[in-house]
């Protein structure tokens, strides 16, 4: 939110400097994001008088002016403005000045052979408005030679970040109230005039949607003249980043920015019948002031007459009933709308506005009559006209919260001693009513204050957050105990292991577009938000892969040939009774090229499913999973398994049902849905499925001691069925003698001459580790027999 120092002084009597105000704003929780001083931009520009104006001898549209800039020596300036003439006063930019609108530095130059010592400036060139048809015309009493920045009363502009819980500070008056409470001056609330009205309002006003619009106030003003708003109003609006439009529109914007109270003006001639706040009808349409047409539904509140919708309530007015140059009679609307309804409507329509920002956070429900009186006074002062009496339909919330407060709570919760009298002063300065028994009545505008802790926050921030001492937490003597949980320790190990294997960590959103989330989850278990940030962040992620796929696509779109990404986070599902079900997970993605083109074959090597399997096994091993006991099984191809290629993916399981991981190539349909070129390999480790190790870990691990005796290796060649997975054979071999066999691995696969059709030959290297004494030949023979017998259970026979 932007506002000028001049505007702030309208509500705050203070002698504080710009720097002092900025420091206090930061101290009380209103972060100052920037301070802009327009006087710096206007340096080098002076009030000047045009003495003579003659046609340029070599250009039909240019004039040669003689200008008095207050130095006693007239200057020659070439100007193309049609309104330049002798005797007028304007703004002269001298050589060395920088034009604010385009950053051009003015120099002494020759234009079509005529010397020009600067430039007479327009409103647009000085960023004081949009007018550019001619140069600025100043009043006759403007002092020639004076700095235009001083004459224009250019005031520093504050840019302050207002947190969502403080809608009461979405107007300059609210900021001034906080600064006054912090001791930076005297608060001057808006002076509300008493306007009775000369006649009954000629239009009926009512609300038929008491939930969405509890209160709808209005009045008519006849005989207005809608020209330009006063210079002082335009100056303040421009400082706030608001473009002046017309006097009627500028008055409503001024009220909104000054007091945080949005309002609307209708051209009475465009209305037909009563003005009603009601629910929209399904598929009803309205063209808004931004010249876009919106389709409404029956969850939205609108302001309509007998013929059509004129206003998306609390968000934006309609294009056909807004004030124009020819408007002579107007209807003023000030209403209170339900914040939640406004937020839902705005998100559905994808429509943002200054009014929506304030209404969905919660405006002051007690400021309807005052706001209408202030707006009426502004319009009558700027545009003339005769106001009617006020029509009030419905009533806003009027029951303030009352909180029992103990001043001693400030020390306990806030960590700072503040005298009770000072606490009372702070609360009353913020417009809280404090009774003798410390029952505190909360102003209706303070929707964020719900209990005693909120009152402590108000006291502490105004007293000074910088006065709260930094106190270290108590720490017992001795060695600190570890605070990380076993699950956190596993995640740390996995993060280091993944990085060591060349994967880059990514952090993606926990929210997804609904279509992407549905692609990776059973829709019945999908966790969809009722109040999402946007439509693209509507569903909680059921998998980490969509975010990683999107990251890999962004990398590929920017010329990155390969991506090796991983992320550790949570998957979210709808559990029983609607509760959230969160699952710790590691997701990884291998996309693009594994190796660049080389001299051997001139081709790049893409990632394949075996790369994904290797990563999955390595990471499971780092997490402490019993990888030697895992079974490689095909994944389920329906539901949540449909994202993987059925012939190039599998799962790693500890038993038939406990799935620890899934890996492989993504399905072509998944690649198409995410608009990414394949092949892309993906891995998901389900950390909650990894069994916890039994017993407590020792404080210190024993030093590694290698076996005293040398290991023995034996090779076996088995004829096995062609469809038998190599992992099944290895599992059978390892189980033959778990005490003696420490490793088994496949080192050869052969089919062809000498191997029966439908069979294949798998060669296995088995490592035997003796314990207290070396193996005898008989012991090795007995172990070999066990290996052959165990392999036979998988229909494997020793090859002759």
Q: Could you list the residues known to form a binding site, using ranges.
A: 448, 454, 457-458
Local structure of 791: helix, strand or coil: helix
Do the Cβ atoms of 255 and 375 come closer than 8 Å? yes
Local structure of 553: helix, strand or coil: helix
Binding site listing for Mg(2+): 448, 454, 457-458
CB atoms within 10 A of CB 352: 12
Do the Cβ atoms of 346 and 356 come closer than 8 Å? yes
Helix (H) or strand (E) holding 67: strand 63-68
CB atoms within 10 A of CB 17: 11
Bridge-based pairing of strands 89-93 and 45-55 is antiparallel
Beta-strand (E) ranges in 223-341?
A: 264-267, 275-279, 285-287, 293-295, 301-304, 309-312, 316-317, 330-336
Residues 6+ apart with CB under 8 A from 160: 1, 2, 3, 25, 30, 31, 32, 33, 175
Do the Cβ atoms of 581 and 575 come closer than 8 Å? yes
Cα atoms in the Cβ-side hemisphere of radius 13 Å centred on 377: 15
How many residues belong to the chain? Answer: 800
Residues 6+ apart with CB under 8 A from 576: none
- How far is Cα 520 from Cα 117, in angstroms, rounded to an integer? 69
Helix (H) or strand (E) holding 457: helix 452-464
- How far is Cα 561 from Cα 553, in angstroms, rounded to an integer? 11
Closest CA to 567 of 544, 549, 583: 544
Beta-strand (E) ranges in 230-297?
A: 264-267, 275-279, 285-287, 293-295
Cα Rg for the chain, rounded, in angstroms? 38
């Amino acid at each position: 939110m932007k506002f000028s120092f001049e505007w702030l002084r309208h509500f705050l009597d203070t002698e504080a400097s710009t720097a002092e105000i900025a420091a206090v704003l930061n101290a009380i929780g209103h972060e100052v994001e920037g301070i802009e001083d327009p006087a710096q931009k206007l340096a080098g520009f002076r009030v000047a008088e045009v003495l003579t104006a003659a046609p340029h001898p070599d250009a039909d549209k240019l004039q040669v002016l003689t200008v008095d800039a207050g130095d006693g020596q007239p200057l020659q300036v070439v100007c193309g403005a049609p309104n330049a003439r002798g005797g007028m006063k304007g703004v002269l930019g001298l050589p060395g000045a920088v034009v604010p609108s385009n950053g051009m530095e003015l120099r002494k130059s020759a234009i079509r052979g005529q010397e020009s010592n600067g430039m007479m400036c327009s409103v647009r060139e000085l960023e004081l408005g949009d007018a550019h048809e001619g140069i600025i015309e100043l009043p006759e009493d403007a002092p020639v030679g004076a700095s235009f920045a001083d004459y224009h009363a250019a005031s520093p502009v504050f840019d302050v970040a207002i947190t969502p819980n403080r809608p009461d500070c979405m107007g300059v008056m609210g900021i001034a109230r906080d600064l006054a409470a912090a001791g930076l001056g005297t608060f001057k609330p808006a002076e509300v005039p008493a306007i009775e009205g000369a006649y009954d309002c000629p239009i009926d006003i009512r609300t038929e949607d008491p939930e969405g619009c509890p209160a709808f106030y209005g009045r008519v003003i006849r005989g207005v003249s809608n020209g330009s708003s006063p210079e002082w109003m335009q100056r303040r609006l421009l400082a706030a980043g608001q473009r002046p439009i017309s006097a009627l529109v500028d008055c409503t914007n001024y009220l909104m920015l000054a007091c945080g109270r949005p309002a609307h003006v209708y051209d009475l001639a465009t209305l037909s019948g009563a003005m009603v706040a009601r629910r929209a009808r399904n598929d009803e349409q309205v063209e808004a002031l931004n010249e876009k047409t919106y389709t409404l539904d029956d969850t939205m509140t609108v302001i309509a007459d007998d013929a059509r919708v004129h206003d998306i309530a609390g968000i934006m007015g309609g294009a056909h009933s807004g004030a124009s140059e020819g408007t002579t009679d107007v209807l003023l609307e000030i209403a209170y709308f339900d914040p939640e309804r406004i937020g839902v409507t705005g998100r559905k329509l994808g429509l943002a506005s200054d009014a929506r920002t304030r209404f969905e956070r919660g405006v002051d429900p007690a400021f309807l009559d005052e706001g209408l009186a202030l707006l009426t006074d502004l319009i009558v002062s700027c545009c003339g006209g005769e106001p009617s009496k006020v029509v009030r339909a419905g009533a806003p919330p009027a029951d303030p919260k009352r909180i029992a407060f103990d001043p001693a709570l400030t020390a306990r919760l806030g960590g700072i001693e503040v005298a009770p009298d000072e606490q009372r002063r702070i609360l009353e300065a913020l417009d809280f009513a404090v009774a003798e028994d410390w029952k505190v009545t909360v102003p209706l505008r303070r929707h964020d204050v719900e209990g005693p802790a909120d009152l402590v926050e108000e006291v502490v921030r105004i007293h000074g957050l910088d006065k709260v001492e930094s106190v270290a937490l108590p720490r017992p003597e001795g060695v600190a105990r570890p605070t990380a949980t076993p699950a956190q320790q596993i995640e740390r190990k996995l993060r280091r292991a993944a990085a060591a294997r060349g994967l880059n960590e990514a952090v993606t959103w926990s929210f997804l577009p609904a279509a992407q989330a549905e692609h990776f989850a059973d829709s019945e278990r999908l966790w969809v938000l009722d109040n999402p940030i946007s439509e693209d962040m509507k569903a909680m992620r059921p998998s980490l892969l969509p975010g990683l796929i999107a990251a890999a696509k962004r990398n590929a779109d920017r010329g990155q040939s390969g991506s090796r990404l991983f992320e550790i986070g949570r998957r979210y599902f709808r559990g029983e009774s609607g509760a959230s079900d969160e699952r710790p997970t590691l997701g990884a993605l291998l996309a693009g090229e594994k190796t660049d083109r080389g001299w051997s074959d001139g081709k790049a090597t893409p990632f394949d499913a075996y790369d994904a399997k290797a990563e999955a096994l390595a990471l499971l091993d780092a997490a402490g999973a019993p990888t030697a006991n895992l079974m490689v099984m095909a994944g389920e191809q329906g539901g949540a398994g449909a994202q993987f290629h059925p012939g190039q993916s599998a799962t790693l399981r500890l038993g038939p049902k406990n799935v620890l991981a899934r890996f492989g190539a993504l399905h072509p349909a998944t690649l198409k849905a995410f608009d990414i070129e394949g092949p892309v390999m993906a891995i998901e480790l389900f950390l909650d499925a990894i069994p916890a190790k039994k017993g407590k870990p020792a404080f210190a691990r024993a030093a590694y001691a290698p076996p005293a005796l040398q290991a023995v290796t034996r090779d076996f060649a088995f004829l096995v069925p062609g469809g038998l997975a190599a992992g099944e054979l290895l599992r059978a071999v390892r189980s033959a003698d778990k005490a003696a066999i420490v490793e088994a691995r496949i080192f050869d696969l052969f089919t062809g001459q000498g191997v029966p059709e439908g069979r294949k030959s798998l060669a296995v290297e088995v490592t035997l580790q003796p314990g207290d004494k070396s193996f005898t030949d008989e012991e090795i023979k007995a172990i070999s027999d066990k290996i052959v017998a165990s392999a036979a259970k998988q229909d494997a026979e020793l090859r002759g």
